[in-house]
Structure 1
Amino acid sequence: MVDLELDSRRAIYQQIADSPGVHFRALLDELDYAKGTIQYQLRWLADEGLVEVSNDGQYTRYYPAADFDDADQAVMNALRREYSRRVIAHLIADGPLSTTALSNRLGKSQSTVSWHLSNLAESNLVTKQRDGRRVVYEVSDADRVKYLYTVYQQSFTDRVVDRILGLWEGY
């Protein structure tokens, strides 16, 4: 039997379960525990196999063990980044789209959008295809993304994406 009797351990685990892909700073902001307490309990939870750790290149993110395979973690890692989440939303709602089209929709420079697209492609979340003289992108597994976004929508608090995707009714 796993020991989640400590209030701090249980609260940290519950926050991870409620917001899979949460990173350390967000846990620190959300919970009323000292930095060292959160670090210690995260290590304990990981050592006990209750929490899996994923690095998205920018943050170390935490997931309830056995609930998220590598593909789910890659999706959640992307959804936890604001502009990656918005790129994905536009691709699902209006895709396939070019970097220029996405840049116009997001109000961001093409280089910024290109950076996000490169990261998403590296994680196998988007594919790119040549369409004449331009390259267009689309989401690789839109159903998986829609499902995870819908299930964990409350933990994203991104009303822009909610409007773009109409809350993905039907999941």
Structure 2
Amino acid sequence: MAEPDLELDSRRALYQHIADNPGVHFRALTAEFEYAKGTIQYQLRWLADEGLINESSDGKYTRYYPTADFDEADRTVMNALRREYSRRVLAHLLAEGPLSTTELGERLDKAKSTVSWHLSNLSEAELVTKERKGRRVVYDVADPDRVERLYAVHQRSFTDRVVDRLLGLWDSY
């Protein structure tokens, strides 16, 4: 029998989807389910009020996480991993070590300004560190073990095969 908190099918389905896809955002939930937006909003609010899920903003989206599985630091990492180019920046830094904006731009085939914007967001979230080496500034992952663990455990919910090939982390867990 289902837990009393999750006795409604819509509530249980939303909670299970959030548990299977931590960091999912509202628009993705509305695309996944045929429920009215108001129903999804109501059930999300109910789950949050009951302490079953947490909300976390990544600056663009409000993302949802099961409370029992993700602390604030985990949610911050997952917010970044849910953004394609932030995930790719982190993957290159994990795979290759400290890199400059120019080096990351070459690897990502993106303008330095775009890479700089992503690095700035990652730095503000305290996910990357920066260090001046002479005239260069290089970036590195602040907590590589946490990022690798969360990526490896949840990589099936990401759709970025470039990062999968670059890291190959799922084999190590």
Report Cα offsets for 1:46-70 as digits up to 9, x if no partner. 0111110111111101010131111
Is the Cα–Cα contact under 8 Å of residues 50 and 64 in structure 1 kept in the other structure? yes
Equivalent residue number for residue 97 of structure 2? 95
Amino acid at match of 1:156: F
1:111 paired with 2:106, answer: no
* Secondary structure class of the residue paired with 1:93: helix
1:36 offset after TM fit, Å?
1.1
* Secondary structure class of the residue paired with 2:64: strand
Structure 1: gaps (5+ residues): none
Equivalent residue number for residue 139 of structure 1? 141
Amino acid at match of 2:21: S
Is the Cα–Cα contact under 8 Å of residues 22 and 65 in structure 2 kept in the other structure? yes
1:50 paired with 2:60, answer: no
CA distance in 2, matches of 1:94, 1:31: 39
CA distance in 2, matches of 1:2, 1:98: 52
Structure-to-structure mapping, 1:32-43, within 5 angstroms: 32-43=34-45
Equivalent residue number for residue 167 of structure 1? 169
| Runs of 4+ residues over 6 Å off in structure 1 | none
Amino acid at match of 1:93: A
Structure 2: gaps (5+ residues): none
TM-score (norm 1): 0.97
* Secondary structure class of the residue paired with 2:34: coil
1:32 offset after TM fit, Å?
2.2
TM-score (norm 2): 0.96
Q: How many residues align?
A: 171
CA distance in 1, matches of 2:158, 2:61: 16
Equivalent residue number for residue 63 of structure 2? 61
* Secondary structure class of the residue paired with 2:54: strand
* Secondary structure class of the residue paired with 1:152: helix
Amino acid at match of 2:73: A
> RMSD value over aligned CA atoms?
1.0
Is the Cα–Cα contact under 8 Å of residues 99 and 140 in structure 2 kept in the other structure? yes
